[in-house]
Structure formats: C-alpha cells, structure tokens
Structure 1
C-alpha cells in the first residue's frame, strides 16, 4: 500500500524534527522516519548544545522553547590558553542581553519537538528506515518493511553518517581533524556562575559548559585519538584529576558523574545540498569542529531557512512538488556552512601546536580583550544578532 506525503524526513534529531514541525505548521503533510527505536533514543545521552539567540528565537517561533526542560543560560564566557596570562572574557551585559546563549541537553530539545509534533498529529515512525528508494511519477517512492511512502521531497536529517547522502552520491569536501571528542558530566568544587569556559591545551581545547546545577558542568575535550583512548582507560578519580589540572583548577577539583562518551571529529561539507529530490540538512550537509559550539545552530538555521522558503510560496496555492524555488536558499546555506567551516579551521590552527608563535598569540588575545568594539562584534555574530538570518530567527 502506498501513502502520499509532501515531505518525508529521515532522521528524528533536533534539526529533522524542527524542520518537520515548521513545515507541518505551513499545512504540508510531513512524515518523519527514524531508524532507532523510541526506547533506545531515550537512553542516557550526555551531549549538550550551546543554543544561541537565533536558535532560541526559532524554537520560540515553533512554540517549543518553554517545553525544553532544564535550560541553563550562560551570561559570561572565558577563553584562555593553559598556563598563559592572557584571557578573553565576554559578558552578556556588554550587549545589554540577558544571556549569551543557553546550554541544553540535546535529548531535552528532541523531546520538546517530538511532543509538539505528536500534538499536531504528524507521524513520527521509530525503528524504521528506507529499504529502497525509487523515482516515481509522484516524486520519490520510499519502500519500508511493511508499506511504501511517496513524497515530492525526501530530506536527510540523519546526521554525519547519512545513508541517503551516500545513496544519492552527493559529492563531499571532507577532512579528518585528527581528534576525538570526549564528553561527560562533572561536578565541580566551585560554582560555575553561569559562565562557559574554554581552555586551549597543546593537545586540543577543553570546554566546561554550565548546567542547571550550580556545581555541574558538561565537558567537551578534543584530543588526538591515542590520548583520548588513554583518558578513557583511566578510572573515574584519575580522569577527574586530569580534567581538574587541564582546566587550571578554574573550578577547583572535580568529580566524574556520568560515563564518558567519545566521538571522532571530521569536517564535512556537501558540494550540493539537493540532488534529484533528496535534500541534505544539518550534520548530513555539514559537520564542523565543536570548539565554538556552532554546529547545531548552523543546522537549525538550515531548517529555518527552508521553512521560510516554503512560507514564501503563493498564499493559498497547493505546492506542486517543483523544487527550483529552493535554490537561492540552498546557495545561501552552503555559503554560511563554508564560512563557518573556514572560521573553525582558522581558530583551530591558531591554537595548534606549531601554529602561531605563543607570544604573538598572547599579544593578539590581549589586544582583543582591550577592544570592546571588536569583542561586541564577535559576540553579536556568535549569538545570531548580526548577519543574514531567516525571519523566524530574527528579533522584533
């Protein structure tokens, strides 16, 4: 039996569900497919994201911001190099904003979006994935285990290892960062005071991100694979001691609260975002280094821009399945991803061993700290206050 949709989205993460909710609100018939079983998606995942103001505005526009449990605003940010005197500090007060952003558990955002989709009657199928994909007169035909779905547009929001991207042979630009990210939750002797911290070590950056408990932080530590494996092999007290020392004891001694998770880091960018009737969004389209926490914001802006493109179609008309109207939006998103990838690579190289001579780097950080105008400009870009944004991510 064949069932007709306007859009089929494969992947029920933050970006896929946000896109589904936005398109559903425009009156499109959307189905979401997720290969993981619902029970398995709710297993402990300690990853968090730093949502900027643009992403917050988008989620407010979708009506889900207040459904997200345990959001932690961060009002300050400190960046420094281990054992160095120069330190960059940023404050929301400098921009007359209540916060620089919010640290949220990825799973909390997913649950809020899923709740909103359930209320709208949009179908989200867990534990299923496309078995066969064929072009058809209606657009694209997706065969599942027990039935077949048809749609005018197929969207991959599957993440960095997208099967649809491979199936459609999207050309990719990619390179290995040579690092693994270690993620865990720690308890600290001193309160975090709503401050996000990042220390650059010779081996890679370590971020301490504040959580709702004043003495809890999520850590993201980027390391060469062998060093990451060595740290994973340590017992909990020894690992916590290494984190305390690596962070210059900025929050005192810490304790490990959760199991450690690790993820290899690789940069990717699709040269095309649309092939045939398959569209890439989020990490399926681009993955960047987590050192500035901008990956999920980039993906959510993809979703917002696509929703906006559909919203600009003539009012009251039935979408006929034609996709040319998406091309300007996709060129914009591709440019944004390229700029973000280049920016992250530049920051990574700036602090890499053998990169800029440390005294020069320290002078540059000190000069930036003394330049309020430049600091404000950098903060506005990171917060999503400046630059070209989808309408639903803008203020006003």
Structure 2
C-alpha cells in the first residue's frame, strides 16, 4: 500500500495537532480537495484512492514510532499518549467522482479538527501516486536521476555557499513514496550537512535526519473562527502558538492574509519572540527585503533572524535568493515538488485546504491569487474588508 505508517507525513501536522489538543480540542472543521492543474481527470482512480484510504484508516502508531515522537523536545507526554490511541476514522472522509469539480473528483473531510488534521498529507500522497502509476506505468527512473544530479551539481558548485542549506518539503506531491526515499537518501549522501533535514517524519526517523516544520495555513485559518475578533485572528494565532511552544518552533507563516496585514500584526513583540518567518507566496525577493526592513525597524538585528523560503522553489531560484540575502539574514530553503516529482511528466498541483471551522467559513488570501481558497464569496469579501486588503498599500 502507499501509506504504511502514520509517520509518513509532514512534521507540522503533529505540531499543529498537539496545539489543537491543548488549545482547541472541541473545534469542528471541514476540508476540501482542489486540483489546480488543468485538463486532469482523476475520476477513473476513485475506487483505488478509496481502497488506499481504507487501509490508511486502519493504521495505528507503533511503540517505536511513539518513542521517536516522544523524543522530540517539543512533544509533550499527554500528546504522545493521545497518539497511542489515535487512528484516522473513515467516517470523516468521503471521496467520489464529481465532474463539476476541478480534476473530476471531490474529496471532502468533515469532523473534529483533532481527529481530521492528519488526513491532508497522506491523502494527497495517495492521489499523486495512484495518478502517476496508473498514467505512466513503468516510467524509467533515468530522467529523474539526470535532473536530480544536475540540481546536486549546482548546489555543490555554487561559489562561497558552504552555509547554504536545503530541506525536503515534498511529501504531499511526490511521484511515489519509493522515489521520495531514494531522493532523500541521495541528498543525504551527496550533500551532507547542506541537507538540513526533511519535513517527512518517517524518513527523518529512518535516515537519521532532522524533522522540520512548525505551522501551516490551516492553523491561522481556523483562528478566524476560534479567536475573539476576526481582525485579531492572526495575532491570536501567534499568541496561542507561543503559549503552546514557549519560544520553540518559532517560524511564523506570513501569507494567510498577505504581507500587509502580516507586518501590521507582527509587531516588535512578535519580531523578538519568533525566530523567523516563512515565505509561501508572492515575490520572494520583495518579501525578503520587506522582512529585513521590518526587523530592523523593530529593533531586531536581521542577522539573528531567519527567512524560510518554500514557494515552488527550484535550485536556480534558491541560488538567486542565496546570492541576494546571504550574510544579511539567516536563510533556509524548503524545496518540494521540484525535488520529489521531477521525472518528466508534469507534476500535479493538488491541495487539501480547510474551508470551514465551527460552522463558519474560513479563507486564505494569498500574495499569489491562484493560491487563495474559499467557498463563500461573501465571507471572502468581508475578510478583505476587515483586513483592508483593497486599500492602497503603503510601504512601512
């Protein structure tokens, strides 16, 4: 089967799930799948996808896996005890053909946030692997290795880049589980310390790498319904995160409402409290310059902070960003699809996003418009009004 361990997911699903257990245990949510790649028909694969999800929902954490998670400094004993009883419940997810939706299928997750949060990554990995093995059966690995070797060569031969570090963020859109493991092993063997780690907890455990991740968009989206006031939802989310982790896992996500509201909310307190910020939409060079200016304006030395870039990265783009920002600020690069699904055929751009929390619509308003997702246009309009997103932006 495609997913054989509940650790075969991204670390930030566990860090968010622990926060949900302690801060929002009664929250009810809905998620929905979206295929952003035009001309794709996934309907013929619905039966196989459902069979894989049936198997996924029969998995439990092993004692060895629980011991590994419990050894991470930020995981708490009561959360590990919760995971010892946890499994994904089939009644919370439905997959069916729907010609009216992009990609021809509808994947709908509905239930307690605490019990549904771990669906996203393995289900996306299932959709990808079923699609590629059915559409391109027996695809040779040679082209994938050629492309990977080119990337490794560029990284190893960049002048004055001993401090450059990349990470694997590719689980959700990988070509296959086996291919991701081969790529991570190759990166570990050939890049050495230039590979910071992987977001995939299973491969981190098995290969002795550092598991990486903090928060995702869904966390701040849910805070739209869970916080005291919509305009304060981003501040509320950061405060609850700090309450949970007490200074650990200090990378803030900056693009749930766009850069302008983020900088307005990310005041001197948060600038000093958090270690850095993650970029996931919009122009990365503009974003990086604005973050450096913002830290300096809030009495923080940017060289003590970190910019994490994770939006559709390629190795040439990583090198451009490195040349621009190296020495001015700490840097990290999380590269996903271009590492784990670059074997010749076009990679799928598929997502599963939260659309509702506690009966209220939630939304992401990205600096890249195509990344936004909301099923309630009236709520989206209201959200833009509350965060003054249609007003002319002034440089801060």
TM-score (norm 1): 0.27
Bigger strand fraction: 1
Bigger helix fraction: 2
Is the radius of gyration larger for structure 1 or structure 2? 1
TM-score (norm 2): 0.27
